[in-house]
């Protein structure tokens, strides 16, 4: 007898429905076809043991299972429950009257319990799109899939619940998630706050500008000056994620297997990989492609501490994703895309010794050593970083005083207002939401300068010997400074402040 059961495969962050055809006929044997990997092929052992342990059995006949479309590779153990239910339905051990209305996924343990799967949110969205009514999946993934409205989510602990539900003897309770209520509960919670940071008012201002315009930023300073502390608090002043951004971020983390009993990702991600990371781990890939750190940081912050310590090849592969805001991973038979729209925050020491060049300090590095150290970072990568800021150590007086620093919530209010101005400005342009995303065409349109502002910028570029790459960056940052000041025009004081944030472009810093 032939039965068709439906599962799903995830490629990139999108799902594809898989039809599992089970045919039971004369003879003896177990044949699984349709481009399964080793984990799928091994399912027969898990299914046989699980069914025996719950009082069912594999029929002693010829079992042929086809997973269509046959040109898509099926990976992992998440098809165990799909195949097991298909075998039980084809051998008439369970009722399969309405089986076509279900997507079924789950990994089986030998005792019949069901283990969580990856990509539950993507699968649920695709199931709803294709008109399925029910989605049976592990209980640990139920809240994540329950975000999708209009699809009956049935979370199970073991395969016995699935069998009883299909037979009508015991119904599985639906999982429903009020996404708006849960979303509003998590908007304000943050582990880190700028009120913890003593002094560093200039750097806080710089971080506020970066957050308001979505600008990439690099912090240069000696050890202990607070670079990491400041970077960790940047997400707390970014605008709250929209529901659309939260869904997109959750899909990526779900595909990576990072969502368990948490449902939606409500907070902007903060990823801080170690400098020994490989290029594949950073941008994604592998034999069976997975998202990398830059995609896990989508809609959030990627923090690269001690930037010159990262391998040159690792930093270079990041250049294109920074420009395109997505990663494309190509293989011989398929291509997958992962979104990677993140804010890059990098930190570094100014020299191998860790300190700025100072003739009065014996431990400081020579100018040549400083230059060689800074040249570990390529010009094209720096070209994609809008703000360069020197961070000086905090004095004892500021560390020991009891003056309260401004909280993240106050800073965030100003950032949100500036982002709202940008949303209105760019509403007619698709895929342009904040100032850092502007290209040359948009800069000409939205960053027009008065005569005084032009003269100031010209003088600064000549006097400080600023590079050509600095010109567009200064204009974009000055546009954000004007937005924070609620000014439509870019004034000379906005230009002069933006010029301060191009330290590494000045003559003597980088050639």
CA distances 14 to 26, 114, 251, Å, are: 39, 23, 8
Average pLDDT in the chain: 88
Alpha carbon distance 86, 6 (integer Å): 9
pLDDT digits (tens, 9 = 90+) for 194-243: 888 888 888 899 999 999 999 999 998 888 888 899 999 999 999 988 88
Distance separating alpha carbons of residues 268 and 469, to the nearest angstrom: 30
pLDDT reported for residue 238: 93
- Residue 499, CB-side half-sphere exposure with 13 Å CA sphere: 20
Quick one: pLDDT at residue 509? 47
**Domain contains 399:** no
SS (H, E, C) 221-286: CCCCCCHHHHHHCHHHHCCCCCHHHHHHHHHHHHHCCCCCCCCCCCCCCEECCCCCCCHHHHHEEC
Contacts of 116 (CB under 8 A, 6+ apart): 107, 138, 140, 141, 257, 260
Q: What domain range includes position 166?
A: 2-177
Asked if residue 353 is part of any domain, the answer here is: no
Distance CA 391, CA 25 (A): 74
d(CA 322, CA 344): 8
Integer Cα distance of 347 and 389 in angstroms: 10
| Within-domain flag for 153 | yes
Instruction: Please state the domain count of the chain.
Output: 1
Separation CA 117–CA 487 (nearest Å): 50
Pairing mode, if any, of strands 114-115 and 326-330?
Answer: unpaired
Asked if the structure places residue 155 within a domain, the reply is: yes
Cβ neighbour number for residue 406 with a 10 Å cutoff: 14
Return the pLDDT at 511.
36
For the segment 320-358, what is each residue's pLDDT rounded down to a tens digit?
Answer: 888 888 998 887 677 888 999 999 999 998 877 766 655
Query: Domain for residue 305, yes or no?
Result: no
The pLDDT tens digits of the residues spanning 62-81 come to 999 999 998 888 988 999 99
CATH assignment at residue 131: 3.30.230.10
**Higher-scoring residue by pLDDT: 260, 433:** 433
pLDDT at position 66: 96
- Looking at residue 319, what is its pLDDT? 86
Whole-angstrom CA distances from 439 to 217, 323, 442 are 18, 10, 5
| Count of C-beta atoms within a 10 Å radius of residue 482 | 23
pLDDT at 365: 67
57 is a domain residue: yes
In contact, 257 and 193? CB cutoff 8 Å? no
pLDDT of residue 508: 46
- C-beta of residue 431 within 8 angstroms of C-beta of residue 473: no
CB distance 163 to 94 below 8 Å: yes
Q: What is the DSSP string of 69-119?
A: STTSPB-SSTTHHHHHHHHHHHTTSS--TTGGGEEE--EEPTTSBEE--S-
Q: In the chain, helix, strand, coil percent, each to 5? A: 40, 20, 40
């Amino acid at each position: 007898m032939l039965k068709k059961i439906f599962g799903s495969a995830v490629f990139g962050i999108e799902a594809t429905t898989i039809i599992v055809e089970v045919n039971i006929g004369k003879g003896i044997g177990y044949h699984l076809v349709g481009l399964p990997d080793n984990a799928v092929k091994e399912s027969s052992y898990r299914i046989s043991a699980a069914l025996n342990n719950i009082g069912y059995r594999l029929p002693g006949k010829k079992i042929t299972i086809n997973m269509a479309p046959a040109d898509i590779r099926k990976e992992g153990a998440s098809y165990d429950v799909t195949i097991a239910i298909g075998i039980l339905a084809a051998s008439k051990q369970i009722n399969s009257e309405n089986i076509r209305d279900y997507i079924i996924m789950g990994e089986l343990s030998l005792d019949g319990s069901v283990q969580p799967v990856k990509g539950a949110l993507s699968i649920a969205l695709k199931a709803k799109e294709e008109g399925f009514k029910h989605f049976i999946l592990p209980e640990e993934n139920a809240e994540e899939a329950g975000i999708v409205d209009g699809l009956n989510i049935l979370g199970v602990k073991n395969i016995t619940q699935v069998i009883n539900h299909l037979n009508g003897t015991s119904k599985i309770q639906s999982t429903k998630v009020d996404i708006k209520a849960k979303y509003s509960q998590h908007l304000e919670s943050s582990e880190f706050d700028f009120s913890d940071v003593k002094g560093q008012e200039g750097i806080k201002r710089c971080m506020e500008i970066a957050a308001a315009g979505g600008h990439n930023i690099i912090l240069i300073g000696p050890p202990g000056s607070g670079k990491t502390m400041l970077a960790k608090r940047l997400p707390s002043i970014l605008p709250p994620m929209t529901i659309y951004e939260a869904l997109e971020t959750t899909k990526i983390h779900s595909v990576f297997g990072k969502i368990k009993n948490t449902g939606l990702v409500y907070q902007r991600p903060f990823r801080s990989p170690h400098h020994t990371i490989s290029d594949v781990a950073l941008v994604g890939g592998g034999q069976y492609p997975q998202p990398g750190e830059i995609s896990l940081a989508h809609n959030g912050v990627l923090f690269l501490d001690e930037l010159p310590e990262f391998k040159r090849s690792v930093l270079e592969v990041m250049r294109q994703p920074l420009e395109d805001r997505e990663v494309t991973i190509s293989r011989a038979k398929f291509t997958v895309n992962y979104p990677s729209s993140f804010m890059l925050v990098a930190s570094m020491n100014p020299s191998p010794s860790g300190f700025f060049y100072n003739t009065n300090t014996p431990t400081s590095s020579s100018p040549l050593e400083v230059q060689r150290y800074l040249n570990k970072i390529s010009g094209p990568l720096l070209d994609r970083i809008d703000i360069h800021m020197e961070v000086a150590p905090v004095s004892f007086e500021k560390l020991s005083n009891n003056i309260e620093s401004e909280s993240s919530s106050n800073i965030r209010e100003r950032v949100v207002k500036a982002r709202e101005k940008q949303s209105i400005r760019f509403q007619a342009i698709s895929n342009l939401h904040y100032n850092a995303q502007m290209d040359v065409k948009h800069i000409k349109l939205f960053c027009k300068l008065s005569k005084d502002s032009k003269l100031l910028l010209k003088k600064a570029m000549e006097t400080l010997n600023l590079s050509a790459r600095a010109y567009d960056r200064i204009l974009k940052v000055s546009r954000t400074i004007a937005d924070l000041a609620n000014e439509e025009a870019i004034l000379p004081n906005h230009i002069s402040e933006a010029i301060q944030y191009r330290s590494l472009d000045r003559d003597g810093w980088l050639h």
